Structures are given as C-alpha cells and as structure tokens.
A and B are shown apart, each in its own frame.
Chain A
Amino acid sequence: MSAPLLEVSNLAVRFDTDEGSVHAVNQVSFTLEEGEALGIVGESGSGKSVTALSIMGLVPTPPGRIEGGSVRFRGRELLGAPERELRRIRGREVAMVYQDPMTSLNPALPVGRQVGEIVRHHLGLDRRQAVERASELLALVGIPNAAGRLGDHPHQFSGGQRQRILIAMALSCDPAVLIADEPTTALDVTVQAQIVELIKELRDRLGMAIIWITHDLGVVAGLVDKITVMYSGYAVEQAPVRELFARPSHPYTVGLLRSLPTFGGQRHRLTPIPGSPPDLSRREDACPFAPRCDWVIEPCRENFPDLASVAPEHDAACHRRDEVRDTPALADATP
C-alpha cells in the first residue's frame, strides 16, 4: 500500500500562557486518502481548529508550540519543513476555508484581484489568464454573472456569497485537500444547505479530499466518510460515519447525540451532558471526560484510556468502550 495522502500521527500542540501551559492537542492521529472526506467534530476548546492549523503550519509560535508528532503529506514531513516548501504546499496542495468570510477577505481589494493573486502566485499565470481563471472559479462556485462582478468589493456580496468566494480561492489551484473550519457556522440554515451542497458537488467533480471541522454532528452526517470526535485536545473516537452514528462507543459521542433534539420524532426531554468542558491548563492522567461521564469507574480517574479498537476501523478511548458500543445510544438506557 502506498502512503496515504495525509497522515497525522501523535500530533501534540501546546500553548504557553501566563497561567501555564495549555495542552491544546494531545497525541492526535488520523489518515486521509485521496478523495476521502473526514469530519472532525468537537466543541469549543476541543483542539479541532488547532489540529487544522498545525497541518497548514499556521500555529502561531509563540505562544504555540508543536511538541511532537508528524504530519506527512504524500509521504513528505511537513512539521519542521522550511517555510519555502510549506508555502508551496499551503494554498496549492492543501487549502483552507475559514469560519468568518468577512474577516478572511481584504475589504479594500476587488474580489477578482484577490482570487487572481493566488493563481498568479502559485501557478504563474499572467494578468489576463488570472482574470480569466478568477471568473471561471467564481462561476464554478455559483456567483451569478461572475465575469461582471470581478471588480466588486467584498461588502457588495452577501455572507453566503463571500463564503463561496473563499471556497473559490481555496479551490483556485486545484488542491488535493480542502480543510474547511466551521465554514457554515456564521450562516443561516438555508445558506448553510447551499454551501454543503456546493462542497459535495465540487468534491464529486474535482475529486479532492476534505477535512470538515465542525461542532455540529448534523452537518457532517451527510457529507463525510468518517469522523474523528475530539474532546479536550484528544481524539476520543474515530469511525466510519454510519458506524459512528449507529454504534457510538465513547460516552461523549453518545452524550452529543443525545443532547440533540430528534428532528421529526416525538418530543422528548433532552439528555444534556452535565458539567462544563474541562480546563485545558490542567493535565492529569485521568480521562478528561470522567467528571461528566455517566459511565465512570475507578480506572477512569487513574489512567487515561488508549484510543483502541472496538470494531474494525472503529476506535474509542474509553475503558468501557465495548459496553458503551453495545448500548443503544438513543434508548433511555442508563449504564
């Protein structure tokens, strides 16, 4: 077997702050094959965005610091690679779309120039070719009358259109991997549906691999092939998407599913996860989810469970992973 397109192993990232060191990402590993779509799901502070930034080599240093692990793209190590090499990969091979389309665009430049700049830089096109490519790209992402709008500034577009423009910029060099960090969080549900459909369609057409980072299990359910659930900087569960929803094997994943109102089903009382997300500056040997977990037993407070197999291609970091997997997630069963 050849090397995967992207292979992240044992990634560890730490932020040094006045109040001590925050362990943002701990021993996170996953792989991404050509054309595959991975969802990284987690709440605020779970480390999902820092994981994405590390792949792009964009963790601000200091205060950030990559403590260990490796990120290989087509077999090449990216961690510690010279900035020149990273710059060639970033944007061209691995492209990223961010949450906030307004702050990611330069408000003072026409969008045609912003899209054109990327292809001129990476692909060495001349001015005329760049204009042509820019209008092609804007048409590709569904901006009506694209050629006529190259001279318009970001504020002349709606929020959904600005997100489309960012996607156009990300796609401009035909990347092998598109990393989307909560690209629909700031948008209305109708516009979110448009963007999700657009990404699906582009993926079918262009065959790129996708990493979709979100806090919303619903959004990725119909979009990705597999999911990594993160909690407190750890990958706590990894599985193909259908398996994860059908047989969640980490209590946190079960909790996330049970705190969602079931749409179209009977009205029932929600089952929230008690407590609050943990403070990342304190790292203990215990399982970080233990204080909020219904399944907690003595070993959970003593040592952190490894991310280990519970079924083929399905890993969970829980001492009771087999029992959790065998309990129907949405039934009113308590452990």
Chain B
Amino acid sequence: MNAANSNGALLEVRDLVKHFPVFGLLRRKVGAVRALDGISLDIRRGETLGLVGESGSGKSTAARTILRLLEPTGGQVIFDGQDITAASRKALRSIRPRMQMVFQDPYASLNPRKTAGSTVIEALEVNRIGTASERRRRVAELFELVGLSPRLRNRYPHEFSGGQRQRIGIARALATEPHFIIADEAISALDVSIQAQIVNLLDDLKQQLELTYLFISHDLSMVRHISDRVAVLYLGKVAELGASQDVWERPLHPYTLALLSAVPVPDPVRESQRERIVLSGDPPDPAAPPSGCRFHTRCAFATDLCHTDEPVLRDLGAPQAPHMVACHHAERIRGSHGTGKGITP
C-alpha cells in the first residue's frame, strides 16, 4: 500500500493550476485567464464527488487537467499513487485506460461514420486489449451492461436517440475497465425523462463495477442526488467542499447559499413562499479576478477584510466529517443555520 491509499483517496489533486495565456498584438503574451487557480481535493475510492459552479468557474478545465488532456500550469494530480503530472508519455499510456471520461454531447462525441460497435471496439484496439474475437465478445458484454441490445452494434449514431447515444459513450468509457470516470455534463443535453435513466445507469454501474466518479454538472439537484460529497467552484478556486448533505442543508459559503436558492423547485406552493437570494451581476472575468475574496463583488456578507484578504480553505466540520469553506464569515453563516431566522448579512 502506498501513501495515496492510506487515506482512501484514489485521486489526489494538489494545488492544481491551469492558466490560459492571452495574446495581444504580435502574439505577445499580455495576461492569463486563470481558469484554475490552485484547487486541492481528494476523491476517495468508490465515492462520487460532485463538482458544481457557474460557467467560467473552471469545472471543465479541472476535468481535462486532471486527465492531463490539458497540461497543468502548476500543481499535482496523483492517481492511485502515481503522479500523473510528472508521468512520461509511456507511463501515461498505462494509466489512461484506468481513467475515462463521458462527455456532454452524445451527438458530437461519437464519430458519425463509425458504427456503435466499432466505436467501442476502437477503445479496445487503441489500448491493445484482447484479440479480435475477444473484442467482439467484449463489445456485446458492454452493450448489455449499459442497457443496449448487442444487435444494435452495427447501427450508426444517427439511428440512435440521445439517451442511447449517451449509453454508447458510457460503453466506450467502460471498455478499458477503468476505476475512475469523469462525467462532464453527461446528462445536460438529454431530455428530462431520459436524464433519470442515465443517472440510474451510472448509479448501477458504480455499484456493479466499483467505480469512482467525478460528476460535473450545472444541475444542482442532480448533483445532490448522485454525489456523496460535493465541491463548489468559483472562478477557479474551491469555495466549499463537504459531504453532499451538509453542503446542501447547512451551506457555509455565501456563494453556495446563492446557488442553492437559485435552483427552481418543482412545487408551486413552496416556490411561491420562497425567499430568493438573487446574485446581482455576472461572474467577474477570470483574466482579472477581484482582489481579496473573489466573490466579494457579488457577496452580501462582504466586509473590508474581504476586499483585501483572500480567505483560505479551512475545515469547519465535525471531526469525522470535514466541511471545508473559504469564507471569512463562515462562522456567522453557520451560526444562523437552524435558528429559523433565515440567513441575512
């Protein structure tokens, strides 16, 4: 057993940074979009970690940098004890099959000229898994696993519905028997009635194959449903991280409070009685994030301190249930939970 396994983490992300350079006249570098500005989180074996945040918060950059589809600007990603950020191409080739991704758009992520079966077989061929006949057998198995009839293997993507296409994407991701899967907005493009099918399928596969997930979505109620823990990102930083239920029921960061209050509730009676914290304005430009706490420009709790000092991510949870938050005023917010008075600055 190595160090990574001792705390049960399959994946450790340490201070991960990804900046995209901004070029001005004559290709001179004039600045950087700080898409990820030092995030740290662990994903434990067998858990689902949800990742939420507005567009521009760095969710998708995090996914791609973790898999090293993007080269990180700084920091480390340790998968199953191996430092991915320092791994050679050859080492990466042996790690990659164990980490897979399911993409948002089942229309764009499948090759329209390849049959469903050959799309899945390709994943096996690229990774040199099995003989030709073993691969064919494996495809049939994978189709069954994701709830598609193996007879559909010779059809082309356009002959499938959106939900079926997403199942093909999942079968492809599972082909290499990964331990870890990143689902980046994997249900966002699907109809509501189909989303639930895919979420249940992901849940079943997790049990059956002992998978670990990073589930990225802007749909907070789905994230709550599927995740054991959840990380809230704001402008490339972790604002809050804790057990799903704690974050949802006793949020400690003003941004999380606002996100949750923005989620529409499918219940006209409750919806009409609800007090909303409507965030004013839009997220600031990640190329020039605000000083101090990045959220202070939109935060109702902000004080002078927030303008100058960046809050560190600290643990305000119970001994066995860490609940991390990066806010100077988190104690005050925690104090107002359960008083029935509502949370006001």
- By a beta-carbon cutoff of 8 Å, the part of chain A in contact with chain B is 43-44, 158-161, 188-194, 196-197, 215-219, 221-222, 241-242, 245, 255-257, 259-261, 263-264, 267, 269-274, 276-277
Contact = CB atoms under 8 A, between A and B. Distances in A.
Given A256-B193, A263-B221, A277-B191, A245 B268 contact: yes
Contact of A261 (B194, B221, B269, B282): B221
A269 B225 CA distance: 9
Contact of B221 (A44, A242, A260, A269): A260
Interface in B179-237: 191-197, 199-200, 203, 218-222, 224-225
A189 B195 CA distance: 18
Given A188-B218, A190-B259, A277-B161, A271 B266 contact: no
Interface residues of B, number: 43
Contacts of B194: 272-273, 276
Which of A188, A189, A277 is packed against the most chain B CB atoms within 10 Å? Answer: A189
B276 interface: yes
Which of B55, B222, B282 is packed against the most chain A CB atoms within 10 Å? Answer: B282
Nearest to A279: B161
A221 B268 CA distance: 5
A257 B192 CA distance: 9
A194 B266 CA distance: 17
B59 to A, nearest CB: 11
A160 B249 CA distance: 28
B276 A257 contact: no
B134 interface: no
B193 A255 contact: yes
Given A158-B282, A241-B268, A270-B200, A259 B54 contact: no
B261 A272 contact: no
Contact of B248 (A216, A264, A271, A277): A264
A189 B278 CA distance: 10
Given A43-B192, A196-B264, A259-B195, A189 B276 contact: no
Contacts of B38: none
Nearest to A276: B161
B67 to A, nearest CB: 24
B274 interface: yes
A219 B195 CA distance: 17
Interface string B157-187: 0000111100000000000000000000000
B161 A189 contact: no
Contacts of A260: 192, 196, 221, 266
B200 to A, nearest CB: 6
Contacts of B288: none
Contacts of B264: 192-193, 196, 216, 218-219, 221-222
